[in-house]
Amino acid sequence: MNSFTTSPTPPSTDDGAISSIGSIAACQVLALRAYFATKVVTETDGTTTVRLDRIYTHVLGRVVYVVVECTYVWHGASVTIKLRTNDERLTGVSQQVLRVTDGTADVESFTARVGETSALNDNTGACAYNNLVEFNNKAIFKLTLRPHARAEFDVWAEHIQDAGRNLPSIGIELSCAWESFSFTNAVEFPLTIENKKVYEIHHRDNTYNFLPTYTDSGRTVRKKISHIENDFTDRVKYYFFNRIDNCHEICEVPQTSVRRRANGQTVTGTAVPAGHIESHAAPGGDADTNYYYNQPATPPDMTTKDPRWLYFGIVTTGKPGTTYGIKRYDLASPNNPLDMVDLVQMPNDLNYDAETGTNRVWATFAYENTERRSCNPGCFAGFLGALIQLGRGDIVCTGMCFDDATSYPSVTHPNGDSADTLYLTTQADEQLKVNALRDHYFARIRRGSSGWKGGLQHTVYTPFHEDHLHAEDFDVARVVVLNP
């Protein structure tokens, strides 16, 4: 049932006309509905329109729109909203007003005028949609669904974790500029809140990207990747905002943490070093067997480790018929048990394809002869951004790292901060791939020297790279952490 109120008669001017808040069109206020929404943009025959579609579930920490639809309302009248818990599962208190960040501090109320569309502006202050008249009876709010302090964010996230499948929900409380009233959408339009780690990637020409800028080769450019940390979930969602700012959920993957490895070393000779504690079949690809070693000690430490990524050293041999030899991967900081690296399990069959033309979002790749399907989560965001920028269906990945952070046969892939791909058929196409990887923060690109490979700009020659391109040194410092 809709809640409404009739406002007091607005004050009159000397000539008896009704005065205005903005432009007053009537003197009755009726709140039809208030709901949480996401933005959807359409381009057709040179016309760009926007709508705000109602949503029912949202990830803690992300931006969300709130729409208050009104009728018989003063165009320009002020509407103030507060977010309120509908239960105890988010903060521990039901019907509690939430304080969420405005970018600098926590705020518990937000005000907008009916018909105002500044919440839809881009980063230049422009609002170039052709259907803004459709919002004349709406108050629009753009909020960030998290508290400003990380400590408070963690409290909310822990409560969500404790709630299990019975996720918390929040509602909207409204007030009018002339007469206060209460309208809570807890029954009709609640929003449930879930925990996810989040990476958001922006198209390079997206003017609705509000991330900080930096200088790149003398140009001022805006950062493209942001991250919401959440220590109370092992699930990671990757989103992409295309040129016109439509948000696409590309994939969701699991994340684990293992001990960080130093770059690998080639073992001289053909014999496995003595002293291993145990051995097991390697995950696959070119790797055959893993041998596990404890840190050298007197007397020798013969303790077994579970999980096996805890071992000081992992030595890997190649499958019969391969010529890569034996590689060893030791812990980067053996005396620091907190030196961990996060790894996501890359999807096996990613083929996301939506929209068309310059707004198309196409993220797809295939694997060839590799089980190195784990990756640093930020590095994977960069890889996805490069895939979408390329917009091709023929990218073949030959691997990142294994789930123990080793990377046989490569010695430069541990910890999943590098990506290998097969070469495309022409230099021009491969150059576009190099550019896309560099645009998404891979600082060093290694290539072979045969044929046209030597002509690839912004690359360095490295032996053993005649059949694949190697992108490494993902610059995680350029990823913006939104809740540090």
| DSSP letters for 413-475 | -GGG--EEEE--SSHHHHHHHHHHHHHTTEEEEEE--SGGGGG-TT-EE-TT-SSEEEEEEE-
Spatial separation of the C-alpha atoms in residues 16 and 23, rounded to whole Å: 16
Domain ranges (residues) in the chain:
30-195, 196-484
Q: Within 10 A of 47 (CB to CB), how many other CB atoms are there?
A: 10
Intervals of the chain under pLDDT 70: 1-31, 71-75, 177-188
The second-level CATH assignment, the architecture, of 30-195 is Sandwich (2.60)
pLDDT at 9: 38
Spatial separation of the C-alpha atoms in residues 135 and 119, rounded to whole Å: 11
Residues 6 or more apart in contact with residue 120 via CB below 8 angstroms? 39, 50, 127, 129, 132, 140, 142
CB 1 within 8 A of CB 30: no
CB 77 within 8 A of CB 179: no
pLDDT at 39: 98
CB 90 within 8 A of CB 60: no
DSSP label of 257: E
pLDDT at 78: 86
* Nearest partner of 80 among 134, 39, 34, judged by Cα: 34
pLDDT at 73: 56
Helix, strand or coil, per DSSP, at residue 25: coil
CB 229 within 8 A of CB 481: yes
pLDDT at 22: 36
**What are the angstrom distances between the C-alpha of 298 and each of 271, 302, 402, 452, 479?**
23, 11, 31, 54, 44
pLDDT at 416: 95
Residues 6 or more apart in contact with residue 344 via CB below 8 angstroms? 236, 253, 254, 255, 374, 375, 376, 377, 380
pLDDT at 216: 86
**What are the angstrom distances between the C-alpha of 129 and each of 42, 204, 244?**
9, 20, 11
pLDDT at 2: 35
* Nearest partner of 361 among 335, 392, 329, judged by Cα: 392
